[in-house]
Copies of this chain bind each other. A is one copy, B any other.
Amino acid sequence: MQLGMIGLGRMGADMVRRLLQGGHDCVVYDRNAAAVAALAGEGATGTASPAEFVARLAKPCAVWLMVPAAAVDETIASVAPLLAPGDILIDGGNSHYHDDLRRSRELSTQGLHYLDVGTSGGVWGRERGYCLMIGGEPAAVRRIEPLFATLAPGRDAASVTPGREARGGTAELGYLHCGPSGAGHFVKMVHNGIEYGLMAAYAEGFNILHHANAGAENRAVDAETTPLRHPEQYRYELNLADIAELWRRGSVISSWLLDLSAAALLGSPNLAEFAGRVADSGEGRWTVAAAIDEGVPAPVLSAALYERFSSRDAADFADRLLSAMRYQFGGHREKR
């Protein structure tokens, strides 16, 4: 079937490639003409403007936006006036689901169907397929289901969950209509919140292994340094790449993130090419905000988020105030 794709960055372009490979017809547009030309060379129909883009789409059409979250509203503003009632507009990026609620309300006045599709898969998606979390009206979802089926990893991407056969549904195929507008990005948001937590669990664990030789280090002996009571218990020089590889087989904590950690540590045991300033792209924040709105505790997901903030020195003033208090009550001076 046909899909129009706006936004040909890494994700958008690879999704087009996967759709083309699956026999679909793709009309593409991007401000960057070179990106359009590249995909045109691979079988897509390239266009040079939103107007030409919409003109090339058969009615009713489906337009998928794969642009940065901050650019979604302006992109909608540039294309929605060109669309007709019954057309479908899909936001496949990392929008906040609050924006989905607003956009679907606004676009419905024009007769347009808005779908929010949380998309996980990263740079591996073209090959592995994309995990698709979909929100919006059921009829619109059904209409373009063949596209979702092609983009998704498919049944064989994982082993069968006992009892699943009897259940049916599309979750096993790697895409799911989660609920009404916003539900797709809500589920994707929590997915990323969990992702932060998983990543932090591994990071903390490997950090503890990394410091397992703490007892072998020379330690300052002064009132500002806690002595290690039993240095003989911390004299291990552990091979983290081997341990990550080991845990991939048979252990309770095997996962795709562990696979990636094993690959990273194999190539670079000390990860010295990284500075440790960890970005966050918003979903972790929104997940914690949702937990707080709902009144449910999320200490692990919050700790994972805060660790990223701290890695970017955002706790510095707080730390200076701690040192200032210690100086005030105890005359303690900072060790440099």
Contact = CB atoms under 8 A, between A and B. Distances in A.
Contact of A10 (B198, B203, B253, B331): B331
A307 B321 CA distance: 12
A224 to B, nearest CB: 4
A175 interface: yes
Interface string A187-214: 1001111111111111111111111101
Interface stretch (A33-41, A47-55, A75-83, A129-137): A129-137
Nearest to A237: B179
The quantity of this chain's copies bound in the complex is 4
Given A205-B193, A223-B68, A243 B187 contact: yes
Main SS of the interface on chain A? helix
A271 B321 CA distance: 7
A206 B318 contact: yes
Contact of A179 (B203, B238, B267, B331): B238
14 contacts: A70-B227, A97-B233, A123-B329, A131-B246, A158-B248, A161-B245, A163-B267, A203-B322, A210-B317, A253-B256, A254-B256, A260-B328, A277-B319, A310-B315
A279 interface: yes
A120 B208 contact: no
Nearest to A178: B238
Contact of A245 (B172, B254, B259): B172
A323 interface: yes
Interface string A159-189: 1011110010101111110111011001100
Nearest to A288: B292
B307 A253 contact: no
Given A158-B249, A172-B245, A294-B314, 8 more contacts: A68-B223, A129-B250, A152-B249, A190-B205, A226-B285, A274-B320, A296-B315, A297-B306
A277 B334 contact: yes
A24 to B, nearest CB: 18
A69 interface: yes
Interface range on chain A (Cβ under 8 Å from partner): 35 or more
A218 interface: no
Given A205-B194, A249-B154, A290-B208, A311 B315 contact: yes
A251 interface: yes
Given A180-B236, A187-B243, A297-B315, A320 B276 contact: yes
A42 interface: no
B289 A253 contact: no
A300 interface: yes
Nearest to A278: B322
A275 B202 CA distance: 28
Interface string A282-314: 100101111111111111111111111111101
B255 A293 contact: no
Contacts of A321: 202-203, 206-207, 261, 264-265, 271
B297 A310 contact: yes
Nearest to A306: B297
